[in-house]
Amino acid sequence: MTHVARQRLKLMAFFAIFALPVAVAWGMVEWRIGIPEARTAHGELQPSLPVLAQWPLTAVEKDGEGDWLLAFDCPQACAEDADRWWRLHRALGREADRVSRLRIGGGGKPLPGAALAQWTSSPEWRSPHRLWILDPDGLPVLGYEQEVAASDVLDDLRRLLRMNPEPPLAKYDQASSVVGGDADGQ
């Protein structure tokens, strides 16, 4: 093999190294080979629900402005559900401060760290004992029936928090707003 032929062979191998993955990826997409069909979320996607601000609720308060929200509907006494979601919130560990809890309805005082709101009217999409995960902007992301395992909700919530990391300086912004007062320096 001559020197020129060897150089051409090297050049063709170099092109193949970059062209082969593109061809394989195209084939996977075109013929649906090797692409997983399973879903990753345990809950139901909720794109048709309105944002939290449009829900017919009394005043809703979150712990932090950028917090995700676990909202659960308690039509009657639901101490067991409230305790279940409180334990799930604690299971988040260091990420727990990025999530707030909202109990909608039910009697009595909410558990520590949870806010309480009441339905002013019952929307057609409401389902008793339902749990929703809402993003920091109030958009419903996932919904769960009462029978869902808390571990499944925890998996989904951890995945959402991991895929939507907190901005690096967010903790310092919150601390400075508490210590320094408002923007006018008062």
User: What b/e sequence results for 109-145 when a residue is b if at least 16 CB atoms lie within 10 Å of its CB, and e otherwise?
Assistant: ebbeebbbbeeeeeeeebeeebbbbbbbebebbbbbe
pLDDT digits (tens, 9 = 90+) for 10-33: 999 999 999 999 999 999 888 888
Look up the CATH superfamily of 44-165: Glutaredoxin (3.40.30.10)
Q: Residue 41 is encoded by which pair of tokens? A: 């979320």
CA dist 155 and 148 (Å) reads: 12
pLDDT digits (tens, 9 = 90+) for 99-143: 999 999 877 788 888 888 888 998 898 888 899 999 999 899 999
Per-residue pLDDT, averaged over 165-184, amounts to 58
Mean pLDDT computed over every residue of the chain: 84
**What single letter denotes the amino acid at residue 3?**
H
What's the pTM value of the predicted model, to 2 decimals? 0.70
The domains of the chain are located at 1-36, 44-165
CA dist 159 and 141 (Å) reads: 12
